[in-house]
Structure 1
């Protein structure tokens, strides 16, 4: 095909039939169309156009790579166009060489059968060189699958109180109104409905955490990431059994020695990587430390806060042959959360009637979460058409949540007289009382997985399958109670069989019981067997390109509580995707995906609000349909992409829950139905030349119907969201960068008091508004070479910056604290506010 196209191009140029840009576009389109028609070809192709800094095509650039059998090379023509065949499933380094330009390269180019990748770039004169770039030849496949690919550089640079992968996910299909948490909800689901994989290995999170400020560190180490893929719905059968989303992360394979250091007022990290001389062994290790006291001390509650969040994570790879790779992924983390609240005053109400809640605390909280994780993975390429993986992993967590906190409160009107000595204080109490919370919760969980996956590439068909066995052994003790004393009268639990309490008019003669009391000890074993099979194919439909996927998952499990086995349950989940790219001038494709999705209950979904385990909880199920459009275009010569997705979920056998900060308490039954529908729109591209920015918008409505009582908003019913990730630099000082993370979400349902009927309490929290900004001076980013004696010569990257969290000092609330007014018998929802404005200094260095 190239033998035909290139002479045609020369003819067009010599006779000036068409402008150069038009010729390149026509030939590129023709090349793609012919590649689709000739889909049976085996060799993948790397192609593109090389220009100098003045946008002039470079003739005679040598494009080559080396393989054991010798060097494969080609050259660019007068229009700067090149095309070179790449070996199948074999990583190679491609070089661009010209006598007038500095040598440039693309590292680790690896493609599968029939893949093609367009790489257009500039070659620079002088002492500057192109950055090394890793090409992911699966980019086109991800686009048709509806998977969002997130740049590791974007993840590292965008500021946030909990910076990392989850910080970006919250602006895509996910959302969250808690900057202290790494948890996110996607399209009406909750925090337990999201799959997270690192290197094909499923990742678990601690069980007992109830507040985002206790989380410390996400499992994912940002400094080790090479690739991040995210799907917010309609994902394939090869991914596991959850209802909402998939986050799929790949760690970096080192190409040599490297080190990275990050330090700020919130903590720091150190990452080291290396490659053996024979290139068979490679390893990367990262250690992190985090201290959230800077953020938590900006809240209304004055505390003595001593957190320690630390982890060490490593990945070691051994490649004895070109076809066989062995990998080990390990992680150890220890999170100690010591918290001693002192005082709090929250002002609310109206300007005409200001009200305040003033609390004095006594006691403390000591929470500790220790997790150990190890996984082995073996990948073997049997032939060019067959590859399989064997994966084994162990996850062990030991958690304790111990606290005794006495809160003595006064609720009343605020003195608004500016000249008064008691200005801002409570002058007329409406209610006074105390609340004692006690917990001695301990959990020990061991989860073991063994899995086999197979991949068969047969002409233009890809067959994938997998079988997985999981054993969960969980030992859990809950001792948790709450005593409320209001104006000297102890309040018993508001349950039906409690004697009538009409104090102070008549003495209460019933038993003295806690207002809330949870006591349970559970020894639970769960055995699971799951598997999947799916088929994918690229083809032509007339002159249009199409891509199809169909698959099914099966899951069998049985819960054993104290030796008593529940029912053996089985689910089947068929799923499918269809994408078409019409033969249009515009680069646009349309996608439909969906199926029947099941979520077999994990341990927390089996445990009700009183701590009792129901071994026969059924899997929640969802019929999920996603319609998507993907449009790539250019504005002012810069690339942009607009992605639009409309979705609908019909949920049955719903296990309803309450949401308290980040703790989820289930009813452990399947007595509800629900639905969710909405629209997500995202545009990303180079709003500023050389930098990528994102703008997102989402609409969501999700409601549930419990036992035919009518539809009410689910705890994650967040109607509107708007987010911006923006990068910029000062034109006259290009080394001075600016990064902005802007979020606006409408308010979530505000919850309800303990034992209350949620159908009675349908108030909402205020809208969530937050802006985090980062300003950095980049001394070097690797694009400029320095003499050996220069102090920057040893650095690949070095920057120092200022981060401002909650730039506009918005007061955002995460939940309500419910307080009684003894005179009016009313209950007030007092907002629990999150962090205020905080400043931090940050250093990044890579060598």
Structure 2
């Protein structure tokens, strides 16, 4: 026994020592290999130069894989090896493979992917991207070229066809999301927060949208449950990224309503993209009941510059000048309303004019640095708006019923409202990739300064008597004045983590984060936790489920802080209420997508249910585009609803969708419960595209909207005093486009890539939709609601050239 022990004991010790030496050797080897790593990065686009998101970049088993982001960018770190084989895969595109011999340091592979079109029985097979987060991806550029709507195919008009979204009107870029205010939506362009003019009171004067659809590369929209990286807004986020051209490119559009020119040029280190738009919607405005001289001038110039002096550094710049002028000299108005049994006619002769100006400038510069798996950036941005609404208009009116005069009178309106606002921002942001995690962190500071001047009044008389009738005084019907300067500073911090992993249960996409904000004017410190999770089950890959929720705030800006105080009947002054707090929304959103094939083509059916618990509400009223806040946190409420969308290719090679939403909104003030101002109880939108059979060069697009009417109140009143609804909004726009020169798919460049001629039929069925009402009051204090109708049927011709 001793002999055996004597023999085997040294052997055991030797084996034990050999095991520890092996572990040490493997550890040293692993550390040496980790220190000798290769970084692979680049950008993936389609053949039109637009970035592809969600492309799987794989280096083989055990060497790592990643996905491209919204800009088509990817970055992957792997161990040093003699040969590196990279594959690029995306549903609907041909797989691309690249081989690198003896790679060292940082390597760049940028490429373009071709669509994978397999023709089976003359039907093209494609796929639809699965959605596992709160963002819906939109093809805004194609919509802008084909949709026949009066905005010229703006991104906002496209958003208004999505479930849960209601546009403010056919000429407006404003929209309400799930019952929220127009101010509750935030817009980003290349990571820069974009602000809109604040004094715009009517669709006619709003001008061009803030996003140029011809410059877009990717557009993401979320109607709720969005991530913590996005600013404090309660309703939605529109995240737009502009293209980075790979070579020289350009497009031009000319129509009866204006024109647009886009030019781009790019190389490996430098790229630039410029877009100029001009619009005059005089022809559309001429279809309204109020006749006169319409003279609108809307101009927009946007530029994007990108420079990469080295593989690690990048410099980007963005500039936007939005110059909108609206001049109008009304002559007369003739409005018929009522029913066959109770027909009314309202006739007005005008004198005076209106001259509005809305000039807004946005600029930003970003410096980025990449090291290892970390991307760092510092962004400086500024916004400046100079707005003026000025008019002096008087009129003499007659109101009759079936030929019998009900009343006659005069009125005069005066307004000199001025607003100047400056917003300066600095944002430091970083992104670090750790295995299957993507960590985002940021710190931002912002300074807001607003100067507002309000001076407006309205005088009315009926049958020679001034209204309101006062025996001992001459009073105006309404007057408002104010003079205020408001400043505020904000500090915000964000920490967010995105985890993506393929498990036995399926593909998971989970994003959680916290946003913290401090506002100096109110002393608020806000904490906003947010979480979203998505799953594509391994056993049912045609399904995609998502669940999101969190706490969302609406930070008060200048208008939310104005409190009206009545100093005499009908006369008010505005005061700044510094005690106004941020409105709060506790949201939960659950949804599912089902991908299927019908008629040999791909389709996707989406459904979402949502609930918002609202508190610290600052109640507001809406008249046309004017949003008037109560100026204090006085109410609570809720929003609940269901949204449905069917998306697919009803016709091969052409995307279409149908959206339908049901919604219920309530808010309670001092024990009284009423609907919220943008309470559209139902909303049906259709966007359908088709190729005319036998004429493949002729493409048809149809855009239709049917939604519940808006809540309306009497002038100077609120919903708590009484309300009624406008008639349901119904409208159909039709666009026809003929391809004179069609785009080639063989990859060769030509001087003229495509040329399309089109005709648009706005308001195809000439339906009279009500914007709001003008109340006529006689000396007996009897009021008559005269509808203000939106635009009628009109034709527009356009020509689009790509080169």
The equivalent residue for 1:483 is 459
1:258 alignment partner, one of 217, 235, 249: 249
Question: Partner of 1:783: helix, strand, or coil?
Answer: coil
Q: Distance in 2 between matches of 1:40 and 1:307?
A: 62
Q: CA 1:40/1:454 → structure 2, altered by over 3 Å: closer, same or farther?
A: farther
Q: Does 1:630 align with 2:593?
A: yes
Question: Partner of 2:576: helix, strand, or coil?
Answer: coil
1:759-797 per-residue CA deviation (whole Å, 9 max, x = no partner) reads 343211111111111111102232267999xxxx52112
Q: Does 1:681 align with 2:644?
A: yes
Q: Does 1:724 align with 2:746?
A: no
Question: Aligned residue pairs: how many?
Answer: 713
Q: Distance in 2 between matches of 1:82 and 1:35?
A: 10
The equivalent residue for 2:370 is 381
1:460-483 per-residue CA deviation (whole Å, 9 max, x = no partner) reads 112111111111111111111111
Q: Distance in 2 between matches of 1:182 and 1:167?
A: 6
Q: How does 1:444-843 map to 2 (within 5 A)?
A: 444-492=420-468, 508-509=471-472, 511-539=473-501, 542-559=504-521, 567-609=522-564, 610-708=573-671, 710-749=672-711, 751-783=712-744, 793-823=750-780, 825-843=781-799
Q: Distance in 2 between matches of 1:833 and 1:238?
A: 41
1:795-839 per-residue CA deviation (whole Å, 9 max, x = no partner) reads 11210011110011110111111112444x332222110000000
Q: Give, in angstroms, the shift of residue 286 of structure 1.
A: 1.1
Q: Give, in angstroms, the shift of residue 251 of structure 1.
A: 0.3
Q: Distance in 2 between matches of 1:831 and 1:584?
A: 56
Answer whether contact 2:740 2:755 (CA < 8 A) is retained.
yes
Answer whether contact 1:440 1:478 (CA < 8 A) is retained.
yes
Q: Give, in angstroms, the shift of residue 70 of structure 1.
A: 9.8
Q: CA 1:82/1:741 → structure 2, altered by over 3 Å: closer, same or farther?
A: closer
1:367-396 per-residue CA deviation (whole Å, 9 max, x = no partner) reads 11112211011222121x211221111111
1:369 alignment partner, one of 346, 355, 358: 358
Q: Distance in 1 between matches of 2:623 and 2:320?
A: 28
Q: Distance in 1 between matches of 2:86 and 2:486?
A: 62
The equivalent residue for 1:12 is none
Q: Give, in angstroms, the shift of residue 158 of structure 1.
A: 1.5
Q: Give, in angstroms, the shift of residue 674 of structure 1.
A: 1.6
Q: How does 1:69-80 map to 2 (within 5 A)?
A: none
Q: How does 1:142-157 map to 2 (within 5 A)?
A: 143-151=131-139, 152-157=141-146
Answer whether contact 1:74 1:82 (CA < 8 A) is retained.
yes
Answer whether contact 2:714 2:723 (CA < 8 A) is retained.
no
Answer whether contact 1:177 1:768 (CA < 8 A) is retained.
no
Q: Distance in 2 between matches of 1:45 and 1:85?
A: 16
Q: How does 1:349-360 map to 2 (within 5 A)?
A: 349-360=338-349
1:400-428 per-residue CA deviation (whole Å, 9 max, x = no partner) reads 111111122122213xxxxxxxxxxxx32
Q: Distance in 1 between matches of 2:61 and 2:133?
A: 19
The equivalent residue for 1:408 is 396
Answer whether contact 2:422 2:449 (CA < 8 A) is retained.
yes
1:339-380 per-residue CA deviation (whole Å, 9 max, x = no partner) reads 111111211122112111111111111111112211011222
Q: TM-score, normalised by structure 1?
A: 0.80
Q: Distance in 2 between matches of 1:147 and 1:345?
A: 46
Q: CA 1:569/1:579 → structure 2, altered by over 3 Å: closer, same or farther?
A: same
Question: Partner of 1:612: helix, strand, or coil?
Answer: strand
The equivalent residue for 1:62 is none
1:164 alignment partner, one of 150, 154, 168: 154
Q: Distance in 2 between matches of 1:307 and 1:482?
A: 25
Q: Distance in 2 between matches of 1:411 and 1:549?
A: 60
Q: CA 1:613/1:264 → structure 2, altered by over 3 Å: closer, same or farther?
A: same
Q: Distance in 2 between matches of 1:726 and 1:89?
A: 46
Q: CA 1:815/1:458 → structure 2, altered by over 3 Å: closer, same or farther?
A: same
2:304 alignment partner, one of 311, 315, 339: 315
Question: Partner of 1:310: helix, strand, or coil?
Answer: strand
1:327 alignment partner, one of 304, 316, 327: 316
Question: Partner of 1:377: helix, strand, or coil?
Answer: strand
Q: Distance in 2 between matches of 1:577 and 1:785?
A: 41
Q: CA 1:488/1:464 → structure 2, altered by over 3 Å: closer, same or farther?
A: same
Q: CA 1:39/1:784 → structure 2, altered by over 3 Å: closer, same or farther?
A: closer
Q: CA 1:81/1:769 → structure 2, altered by over 3 Å: closer, same or farther?
A: closer
Q: Give, in angstroms, the shift of residue 333 of structure 1.
A: 2.2
Judge which range, 237-246 or 216-225, deviates more.
216-225
Q: CA 1:615/1:787 → structure 2, altered by over 3 Å: closer, same or farther?
A: closer
Answer whether contact 2:94 2:113 (CA < 8 A) is retained.
no
Question: Partner of 1:605: helix, strand, or coil?
Answer: helix
Q: Distance in 2 between matches of 1:822 and 1:178?
A: 34
The equivalent residue for 2:29 is none
Answer whether contact 2:168 2:174 (CA < 8 A) is retained.
no
The equivalent residue for 1:120 is 116
The equivalent residue for 1:11 is none
The equivalent residue for 1:60 is none
Q: Give, in angstroms, the shift of residue 42 of structure 1.
A: 1.5
The equivalent residue for 1:394 is 382
Q: CA 1:321/1:70 → structure 2, altered by over 3 Å: closer, same or farther?
A: farther
Structure 1: state its 5+ residue gaps: 1-31, 47-68, 95-104, 108-118, 125-129, 415-426, 493-500, 560-566
Structure 2: state its 5+ residue gaps: 1-53, 69-81, 565-572
Q: TM-score, normalised by structure 2?
A: 0.84
Q: CA 1:557/1:75 → structure 2, altered by over 3 Å: closer, same or farther?
A: closer
Q: Distance in 1 between matches of 2:113 and 2:634?
A: 56
Q: Give, in angstroms, the shift of residue 145 of structure 1.
A: 0.9
Q: Distance in 1 between matches of 2:321 and 2:107?
A: 33
Q: CA 1:40/1:390 → structure 2, altered by over 3 Å: closer, same or farther?
A: farther
Q: CA 1:547/1:356 → structure 2, altered by over 3 Å: closer, same or farther?
A: same
Judge which range, 161-170 or 147-156, deviates more.
147-156
Question: Partner of 2:325: helix, strand, or coil?
Answer: strand
